[in-house]
Amino acid sequence: MASYDAAAKYENTWRREMREGKGAVAALLHHTQSWLPLLTRDIPGFDPSTFGDKPDVPDDVIEDGSRLAEVLEEATTEEGKPLAYKFVALEALHPSLASANKEWSEAEAADATYQKLLKESRATGAVLDKEIQTFRRSLAHAVGRNDKDF
């Protein structure tokens, strides 16, 4: 019962962490996608289809955000100067990327803890089930199967 209670109590924490993690990743995806049209316009051969192509995979969105930051750092105009909006874009992207990394790491840790608690609960539940079955057989033998307590 204690292992079940621990899992049940932790469920709210798990839900909160997953919601925060997914929210931070969604914000990063939004920031990433908001800069793609400008980069497509200003960088010859830039392919925006590789950014945010798997929005349901948080690790992929975070990786795309990191790659976009690298593109912004390295991209130059035809004259070899940094893009005019480089610093503005990086100022918007870096906090979002840091938040997504932090929140998704916390969500993954909470998920691992919750899965561990559920595993323990299932294991103790299996033991309890065997004990209850044994008890019912003993009770059936002692008082009979037609007894109201059976």
Residue 108's pLDDT is what? 96
Longest CA–CA separation in the chain, Å? 94
pLDDT tens, 66-107?
A: 999 999 999 888 788 888 999 999 999 999 999 999 999 999
pLDDT < 50 regions, the chain: none
Residue 150's pLDDT is what? 64
Residue 18's pLDDT is what? 96
Residue 45's pLDDT is what? 84
CB neighbour list of residue 21: distance below 8 Å, 6 or more residues apart = 58, 103, 104, 106, 107, 108
Considering the entire predicted model, what is its pTM?
Answer: 0.78
